[in-house]
Amino acid sequence: MAIDFEVEPDFQMKLDWVAEFVREELEPLDRLVFSESKVGGGRGGFTDDRPSLGPKFDRHIKGLQEQVRAQGLWAMHLGPELGGPGFGQVKLCLLNEILARASMAPMVFGTQAPDTGNMELIAHNGTPEQKKRWLEPLMNGEFRSCYSMTEPHAGSDPGMFTCRAWRDGDGWVLDGEKWFSSYADVSKLIIVMAITDPEAPVTRRASMFLVPRETPGIEIIRNVGQLHEPLGTGDHGYVRYNKVRLPADALLGQEGGGFTGAQTRLSGGRIHHAMRAVGVCNQAFEMMCERAVSRRTKGSLLSDKQMVQEQIADCYIELKQFRLHVLYTAWLIDKHRAYTREVRKEIAAVKVTAPKVLQNVVYKSLHLHGSLGASNETRLGRMWMNVPWMGIVDGPTEVHKVTVAQQVLRDCKPAQGLFPTYHLPAEIAAARAKFADLIEREVAEF
């Protein structure tokens, strides 16, 4: 069967509806939140997917969410058994490419991070009681949740984690510090990864715990913001767990299964991050092209300049290649229905590429806009601020490069002799031996 790049008509109708809905409803809301909020001044603002401009605004958001539900698109990342549509990764990627155009989209579609990954963790590892208490209301958007894994000195390296949890009587005691626990101060549930067996192999040292936010002993040392936000503001909690006492049923999944759960949670998210990067690049590229055919300098349009044409061509080619790689990776996940070695290799590869493509396309668009691009009067500045994050979130680029190299080299066999298998003298000798009869006949005829 030939490879088909078309989307089936029914799903294309969904994509068309989402594109119009985002363009007509959510992008204008982004502009409103941007204009009405104190940008970079505390909670709220353009980077926050939980803005509130008052009760009327909140009711309007709920109305938009109902429209999404009516289309069967709410919590689209979940399978039918969990109340979602179960689209599969390729379709999710195509949807995320569109949703990337509006920061309000995740909240309106029920796909905001870190709630999406937390839902998947509870769905795969939770007991029936845990699912009833936490998963169902999370799916309904009744409260926010937090994923508390990284640590100030260790980042996301589980081999360096020091936050501990140990058994005490019928329950557990949790003690240590966590870094960049997004929305910890406003979440009702915090999922914490802690070391439960420091002597075990790295992949079996940690476990995950479901920790209600109101549990005594949880201290938000401070909130940390992003690059453009003033010191002392932001949504990413620096958290200290001061000998927090937890019941036995706070353990999520098996003891020692935290690392495996984290990898499952993060792998799918990396694909969605990559496709959202495609969506952001699409916007930047559209802005670049409009500017090129609108702006005149030195007596002609920018679009007439060969250097500008080269930049536009390079961005177009790079973006198309990256998009196809992401979709191919999503197709592999749908095909195998598991995060196999082959799948993990491609996930790591697109994770490495995402910040490079984002940086290149956004910077060239910003540069082409001149002073306007470097100002705060277009979206390009905020796009540019997100470039470093793409190389850090869900594991730094260097770690993923190592993963790609290891998986590629796993399939390579060393040469058995002194010279490589592609050494020309040996190859020519083998070719002469293969065609010896043919050579002999040719010589005989002459």
State residue 44's pLDDT score.
32
User: Could you please report the per-residue DSSP string of 372-410?
Assistant: TTTSSSSSHHHHHHTHHHHTTTTS-HHHHHHHHHHHHHH
Inter-residue contact 188 to 144 (CB < 8 Å): yes
Inter-residue contact 380 to 284 (CB < 8 Å): yes
State residue 268's pLDDT score.
67
Specify the pairing of strand 145-148 against strand 189-195: parallel
E-assigned strand segments in 169-227: 171-182, 189-195, 206-212, 218-224
**Among residues 168, 120, 128, 184, which one has the least CA distance to residue 339?**
120
State residue 315's pLDDT score.
97
- May I ask the CATH architecture of the domain 145-252? Beta Barrel (2.40)
Instruction: Output the six-digit token pair for 355.
Output: 């910040």
**Among residues 326, 336, 328, which one has the least CA distance to residue 358?**
326
Q: Where in the chain is the domain with CATH 1.20.140.10?
A: 260-410
Inter-residue contact 178 to 208 (CB < 8 Å): no
State residue 310's pLDDT score.
97
Phi, psi of 259 (to 5 degrees): -65, -45
**Choices 1.10.540.10, 1.10.3720.10, 3.30.1310.10, 2.40.50.140: CATH for 9-113:** 1.10.540.10
Report d(CA 79, CA 62) in Å as an integer: 23
Residue 92 burial (C-beta neighbours within 10 Å; 0-12, 13-18, 19+)? buried
Instruction: Output the six-digit token pair for 244.
Output: 């927090």
The CA-based diameter of the chain, rounded to the nearest angstrom, is 97
Locate all alpha helices (DSSP H) within 47-187, ordered by sequence: 55-70, 89-99, 105-109, 115-125, 128-130, 136-139
Phi, psi of 295 (to 5 degrees): -95, 130
Report d(CA 305, CA 303) in Å as an integer: 6
- Return per-residue pLDDT of the chain as tens, 446 residues: 467 788 899 999 999 999 999 999 999 998 887 766 544 333 333 234 444 556 778 889 999 999 999 999 988 887 777 667 788 889 999 999 999 999 889 889 988 888 888 988 898 889 999 999 999 899 888 899 999 999 999 877 778 999 999 999 999 999 999 999 999 999 999 999 999 999 999 989 999 999 999 999 999 999 998 887 788 788 899 999 999 999 999 999 999 999 887 776 666 678 888 999 999 999 999 999 999 999 999 999 999 999 999 999 999 999 999 999 999 999 999 998 878 888 889 999 999 999 999 999 999 999 999 999 999 899 999 899 889 888 887 778 888 899 999 999 998 999 999 999 999 999 999 999 999 988 887 767 66
Report d(CA 408, CA 202) in Å as an integer: 23
Q: What is each CA distance from 221 to 24, 180, 217, 277, 407, in whole angstroms? A: 40, 11, 12, 32, 40
In this structure, which topology does domain 260-410 adopt according to CATH?
Butyryl-CoA Dehydrogenase, subunit A; domain 3 (1.20.140)
State residue 2's pLDDT score.
61
Q: Where in the chain is the domain with CATH 2.40.110.10?
A: 145-252
Question: Which pairs from 136-139 meet CB under 8 Å and 24+ separation?
Answer: 138/189, 139/75, 139/78, 139/82, 139/83, 139/84, 139/110
Report d(CA 11, CA 294) in Å as an integer: 35
User: How many CB atoms lie under 10 A from the CB of residue 58?
Assistant: 12
pTM: 0.85
Q: What is each CA distance from 280 to 97, 106, 114, 354, 382, in whole angstroms? A: 8, 14, 20, 11, 11
Report d(CA 350, CA 371) in Å as an integer: 32
